[in-house]
Every structure is written in structure tokens, then in C-alpha cells.
Amino acid sequence: MTQSIVVQVGQCGNQIGCRFWDLALREHAAVNKSGNYDESLSSFFRNVDSRYDDPANIPMGSGKGKIKALKARAVLVDMEEGVVSEMMKGPLREVFDFQQLITDVSGCGNNWAVGHKMYGTQYREQLSDVIRRAAEFCDCLQCFFILHSMGGGTGSGVGTFILNLLEEDYPDVYRFVTAVYPSAEDDVVTSPYNSVLAMHQLTEKADCVLPVENQALMDIVNKIGQAIPSARTGKKTFFPTDVKAGSAIHTGDGGLTKTSEEKPFDSMNNIVANLLLNMTSSARFEGSLNVDLNEITMNLVPFPKLHYLVASQSPLYTSADVHLPPRKLDQMFSDAFSRDHQLLRADPKHSLYLACALMVRGNVEISDVRRNIERLKPNLKFIHWNQEGWKTGLCAVPPVGQSYSLLTLANNTCIQHSFTDLRDRFVKLYKRKAHVHHYTHIEGMEVSDFNQSYESLNTLIDEYQALEKQMHNPPPPEPRLQILT
């Protein structure tokens, strides 16, 4: 069994990470009734003897040893200590290893250059040490998951500095990034600068990026809140402002954090945490058709820099959520390909699929998956050289409170529209050189960093657009080989 390390950076990254660990414990508690430290737990947790100040690692052995104390395979980084300090006082405090935290007090002031050029350089050795310590506890380290926002200074700046560090020190270990993009109405004026500067690093250094938009998360939370059951089974009544508190996909019911203790953004963060739980389910639990993390990049990333995947989850409404009967399996597949269930505000159905992964959890047969693929294929446009570009995964263990679930990861040219919007917001500031002096006064930061990042984003958009043009005008087929007679 392989292991993965989660590196959570900045306020957003640490809040998402906190929800991920809480919900992961909930899932494992529902499955692991024996209290043994087994391969499933070892993928993201260490078993330690907590009687010592430096907890001694207890090897898994045969998988029959009892759990003493679980420590998350996590590294927590924030240049403003408030969120991490709060986590270390909260219900998850025993799950985190205090030797794998790095904090400062002043923060990055919403400035990518402060995070990447100043704090990154200042904390380079410490970052290397804590990551190496986490890696040394792994028998077979497969992947780093980096969680951060794009609009702030610490998440975008320090987050991408760590990404570079991982590429240098662990070039053979996969680097998956979950990056939260700001909405157009973001309250950070310089967020377009931070996002574009960070995207240059993500494009060059990450193996796979899962972009998540703040606005899409807010839309999902509101939709969940609007699904209030009426007396008639299966009927929904809609109220525009009432957000349902008991939705299993966006609350931590059953975790260490009580519902009454949840923070304002926890509903949104739980959706991202569920994305990570579903994506890593095959690494944590048994299944008839498990998808390893390296298979995601192998099958979904046809070209090195086009590694941005559009994620969608279904169901959003479950029997545990709003007391509705479980959704029909076919409806779950249809939902997963609708805009309402996506973590990015884009429309894949009107763009071109390069590849698509279906990661199903629960008691679902492969024949059900194939039937739904055949049903959906006529409405989905796949690129001419990869018409059968489907990757399927089946994990036997469903999410807590649900009978089954589906996560889709699509490499689709629709993502260019989100990137174009970001570029337009960047240009609006940069053509006047507004706020640029706040960046260039940081040692090591040059105006050329802006220009290179802008060109990198332009090139990325151009590549997606060139592929999308093939949707209506595919190149002529290659001539077949002729057999001489």
C-alpha cells in the first residue's frame, strides 16, 4: 500500500485540510470496526505511541496491531498563525503532529511576491526539513496533495514555492494541487495578480491541478440549502435563502467536529474535502476496479501542461441529507455531467473532452457504468483521436450516509473560459501597472515575472482553443497502410 502526504498552505488550505482529516476519520471509523491499524489507515495516517514528546512510529506489521494514536500525514504551513493555532486547540489537535507545523505572525499581505520570494526563501530549510520528516515515515510515498488558494499571498506564494521545492527534492513523487480560485467579486484587489503568478508555477511544476472556484462552491451550498423535502416523497420545495444544515456532502456530521462548532466556510470546504476523499478512495479502500493516483495522470493528461481537470460530484442530495429516497443510479450519472454539480463554473457539454474519469463508490456493477457511458456518449463531444477516452474506477466503500457516489474528473477545453476571465481581470490592472510596485520592491521579484506569467497563461489558453477548434473541424484521417499485392 502506498502513502500520501497532504501539504496545506495558508488560511484556505488549512481550513480545507482540517475538514478533509475530520471527514477521513469519519469514513475510516465507519469501516474499521476492529480498531486495527491496517493498510487502509496507513495511506494517510501514522500509528504512534503518544506517551513520548516525539511520538514513536509503530509499524503496520501484519495489519492486526491495535491503533494507539493516529497522526495525519500532513504538513501545515501559514504565515499568519491564527488558523493553525485555532486548529491546534480544536477537536483535531491530537491528529496533527506539532513538529510538522510552520507558522509566522505577520502574514503575506495578499502579495504573491512576499509569500514566494521572501517567506519561501526565508523558510526554505525548515520547509524541506518538515517535509522530509513526513516522507521518512512513509514506506512507499506516492503523492503530495497541496491545498491552497490562488487569490491570497500565503496560499498562492508559499504554496507554489513548496511545489517547486517538491519538484526539486522528490521529482518522482506525484504532485496533485487543489487550488481554490477567487470569484470575480473577490475582496482582494490584487487577487488577479496572485492567481496568474501562481498559475505559471502550477502549469510548469504540477502533475495534476484540480481548480475549484469559490463562486461554484457558493452556488452548490445554496442549491443544497434549497432542497427541502415536503410531505410528498421525492418532491422538493425551494426556499432561496434557507441553507440546509444536515447535508452529508457539505457538513461534517459524524466527524470529530460537532455541527454546532462548524465555521462559516465549512460548508464550502466540506465539498472540496469530499472531492479529495472520493479521489483517494481507491488508495484507502478495496474495490473491484481501483484507480491508482498515477493512473489519473496517465489517462487524463495527454499533454504535459494541459493537466487542469474539471471535477463534478453526485449526488448532492441523498437519503441521509434531506430524507429523499436514494437517487436512481442513472440520474446520478446524468447529474455528474450537469453544470450544477461542478466545482468550476464552466460547461463541458459545449466543449471538447480530451479524457474523462468516472470514480464510483458503493455497490455498483461495471455493467451499470458501461450502460451509462453508452447512454451519455451521444451528448458528449470527445476529441477525434480519443473517442473511447473513459477511465473507470469502482470502490466498494461508499461515503458515510450514502449508498453510492460518483466523482467525475474531466480534461475538457471548457476550462479555457475560466482562464480567459482571469486573464481579463489581470490585464485590467496590469495595463495601468496598478499595485505593481508592491510586488517589485520585494527582493528577487521583477516585472519580467508578471510578463512571463501572463505569456504562460496566454499559451495555455491558446493550446486549449486550438484543440477546441477540432470539435467542428477535425483534421482529415491519416491514410491507411496499403498492402502491396
Written as tens digits, the pLDDT of the chain (485 aa) is: 789 999 999 999 999 999 999 999 999 998 888 888 988 899 999 999 877 777 778 887 765 688 989 999 999 999 999 999 999 999 999 999 999 999 998 899 999 999 999 999 999 999 999 999 999 999 999 999 999 999 999 999 999 999 999 999 999 999 999 999 998 888 899 999 999 999 999 999 999 999 999 999 998 888 877 764 544 444 443 333 332 333 344 444 445 665 555 565 788 899 999 999 999 998 888 888 888 899 999 999 999 999 999 999 987 743 333 344 556 888 999 999 988 899 999 888 889 999 999 999 998 999 999 999 999 999 999 999 999 999 999 999 998 888 889 999 999 999 999 999 999 999 999 999 999 999 999 999 999 999 999 999 999 999 999 999 988 776 666 677 777 76
**pTM given for the model:** 0.89
Cα of first residue to Cα of last residue in the chain, in angstroms, is: 54
Residue 477 within a domain: no
HSE-CB for 305 with a 13 A CA cutoff: 15
Q: What residue numbers bound the domain in which 105 lies?
A: 3-227+264-416
Rounded Cα–Cα distance for residues 236 and 319 (Å): 13
Closest CA to 409 of 216, 279, 314: 279
Residue 335 within a domain: yes
Which tens digit of pLDDT belongs to each residue from 265-317?
788 899 999 999 999 998 888 888 888 899 999 999 999 999 999 999 987 74
Q: DSSP assignment of 395-464, as one string?
A: ES-PPTT-SEEEEEEEEETTHHHHHHHHHHHHHHHHTTTTTHHHHHTSTT--HHHHHHHHHHHHHHHHHH
Residue 336 within a domain: yes
Rounded Cα–Cα distance for residues 262 and 265 (Å): 8
Cell numbers at residue 315, please?
A: 449526488
Residue 463 within a domain: no
> The domain spanning residue 367 has which CATH number?
3.40.50.1440
Residue 427 within a domain: no
The answer to whether 190 touches 115, Cβ cutoff 8 Å, is no
Residue 172 within a domain: yes
Residue 459 within a domain: no
Residue 9 within a domain: yes
Mean pLDDT of the chain: 87
192 Ramachandran zone, left/alpha/beta (phi>0; psi -120 to 50): alpha
Rounded Cα–Cα distance for residues 21 and 419 (Å): 30
How many domains does the chain contain in total? 1
